[in-house]
């Protein structure tokens, strides 16, 4: 066999290996499914949950699917086959790409809606989705004909642009990435999050009226109590990490002391508690001014005027 032929055969085998890997990676995604929750509201998805609401004049699709999964194109074909009204709106729960990929497939009939803070992130960071055409700040209502959808923004929480999608007449709340089924940690790490306002917003959602079914962005449907479970965990985590920082402890010691063991019956606890402690420490380190003499919590950087420069700033 010539040397050149050997090289070609090797390349061919490698290409086959790569193609095979791609197929099996795609194959690992859960199959796409649609589940009717109430008269007008459906959950759909594979790895992540999206939803859609069907009125007499049109459909609103909440969120896309994981990039590369082709899930939104699959949904488009299913909706065309099942209903005789067009998709009028696509609603982006927030800018995180895993939840919004592929929504541009609906751009022939639908206008994309998001919180006002989501649009610049989507453009600046090149998210693969529809560019929002309609944005709002605090609340917005969409009438689909016989069914109303209310979009709510409760301030910065999981991101600075996460919204809640409420269908009050049917008691459904679509709450992506802010809650998981039952007792569960809801965020792997706290990157991008505003913890203080999240604690407040989780309390509001836990007590909101007309909510019987909560649809998280991942996993099974749940109820309002799930918001309060996560709120209790987040609040305890914040207080315990801050207590140790005030006592002068650094992150290594905090990881030893703050075990959150009393929350170990929560879903995802074993996998995420450590990254949550680190995330909380980082947030508090950057956003809380330490009390003087609080050891490891104090800034390592000199923040006063340099010696000899003070007179320049003290005025005549």
For Zn ion, the binding residues (CB under 5 A) are: 96, 177
Smallest separation (angstroms) from Zn ion to the CB of 211:
21
Cβ atoms of 187 and 276 closer than 8 Å: yes
Smallest separation (angstroms) from Zn ion to the CB of 158:
6
Residue sitting closest to Zn ion (CB): 96
Alpha-carbon distances of 41 from 55, 87, 202, 276, rounded to whole Å: 9, 14, 23, 33
Smallest separation (angstroms) from Zn ion to the CB of 159:
6
Distance separating alpha carbons of residues 75 and 64, to the nearest angstrom = 9
Specify the residue, 206 or 217, whose C-beta has the smaller distance to Zn ion. Answer: 217
Distance separating alpha carbons of residues 84 and 167, to the nearest angstrom = 21
Smallest separation (angstroms) from Zn ion to the CB of 283:
16
Specify the residue, 43 or 192, whose C-beta has the smaller distance to Zn ion. Answer: 192
Smallest separation (angstroms) from Zn ion to the CB of 115:
13
3-state secondary structure of 224: coil
3-state secondary structure of 103: helix
Strands 49-54 and 41-45, by their bridges, are: antiparallel
Smallest separation (angstroms) from Zn ion to the CB of 237:
19
Specify the residue, 145 or 188, whose C-beta has the smaller distance to Zn ion. Answer: 188
Smallest separation (angstroms) from Zn ion to the CB of 217:
7
Distance separating alpha carbons of residues 64 and 309, to the nearest angstrom = 57
Cβ atoms of 134 and 112 closer than 8 Å: yes
Specify the residue, 177 or 194, whose C-beta has the smaller distance to Zn ion. Answer: 177
3-state secondary structure 234-289: HHHHHHHHHHHHHCCCCHHHHHHHCCCHHHCCCECHHHHHHHHHHHHHHHHHHHCC
DSSP 307: T
Smallest separation (angstroms) from Zn ion to the CB of 94:
6
**Angle, nearest 10°, between helix axes 225-246 and 269-287?**
50
Specify the residue, 76 or 96, whose C-beta has the smaller distance to Zn ion. Answer: 96
Specify the residue, 11 or 123, whose C-beta has the smaller distance to Zn ion. Answer: 123
Query: Smallest Cα–Cα separation from 177: which of 109, 268, 291, 274?
Result: 268
Specify the residue, 128 or 240, whose C-beta has the smaller distance to Zn ion. Answer: 128
Smallest separation (angstroms) from Zn ion to the CB of 177:
4
Specify the residue, 78 or 97, whose C-beta has the smaller distance to Zn ion. Answer: 97
Specify the residue, 96 or 119, whose C-beta has the smaller distance to Zn ion. Answer: 96
Residue ranges of the alpha helices (H) in the chain?
A: 3-27, 71-82, 97-100, 118-124, 195-207, 225-246, 251-257, 269-287, 310-313
Distance separating alpha carbons of residues 177 and 216, to the nearest angstrom = 6
């Amino acid at each position: 066999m010539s040397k050149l032929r050997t090289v070609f055969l090797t390349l061919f085998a490698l290409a086959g290996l790569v193609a095979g890997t791609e197929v099996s990676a795609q194959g690992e995604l859960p199959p796409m499914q649609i589940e009717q929750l109430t008269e007008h509201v459906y959950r759909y998805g594979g790895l992540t949950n999206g939803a859609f609401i069907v009125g007499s004049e049109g459909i609103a699709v909440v969120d896309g699917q994981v990039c590369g999964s082709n899930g939104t194109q699959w949904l488009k074909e299913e909706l065309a086959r099942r209903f005789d009204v067009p998709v009028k709106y696509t609603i982006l729960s927030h800018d995180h790409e895993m939840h919004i990929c592929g929504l541009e497939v609906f751009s022939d009939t639908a206008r994309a809606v998001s919180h006002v803070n989501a649009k610049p992130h989507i453009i600046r960071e090149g998210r693969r989705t529809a560019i929002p055409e309609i944005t709002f700040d605090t609340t917005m209502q969409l009438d689909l004909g016989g069914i109303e959808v209310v979009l709510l923004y409760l301030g910065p929480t999981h991101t600075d642009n996460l919204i809640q999608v409420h269908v009050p007449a049917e008691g459904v709340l679509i709450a992506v990435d802010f809650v998981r089924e039952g007792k569960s940690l809801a965020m792997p790490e706290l990157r991008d999050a505003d913890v203080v306002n999240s604690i407040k917003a989780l309390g509001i959602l836990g007590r909101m009226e007309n909510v019987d079914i909560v649809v998280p962005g991942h996993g099974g449907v749940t109820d309002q109590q799930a918001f309060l479970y996560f709120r209790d965990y987040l609040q305890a985590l914040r207080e315990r990490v801050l207590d140790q920082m005030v006592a002068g402890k650094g992150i290594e010691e905090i990881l030893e002391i703050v075990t959150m063991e009393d929350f170990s019956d929560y879903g995802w606890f074993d996998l995420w508690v450590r990254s949550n402690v680190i995330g909380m420490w980082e947030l508090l380190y950057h956003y809380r001014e330490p009390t003087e003499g609080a050891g490891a919590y104090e800034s390592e950087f000199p923040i006063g005027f340099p010696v000899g420069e003070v007179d320049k700033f003290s005025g005549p």
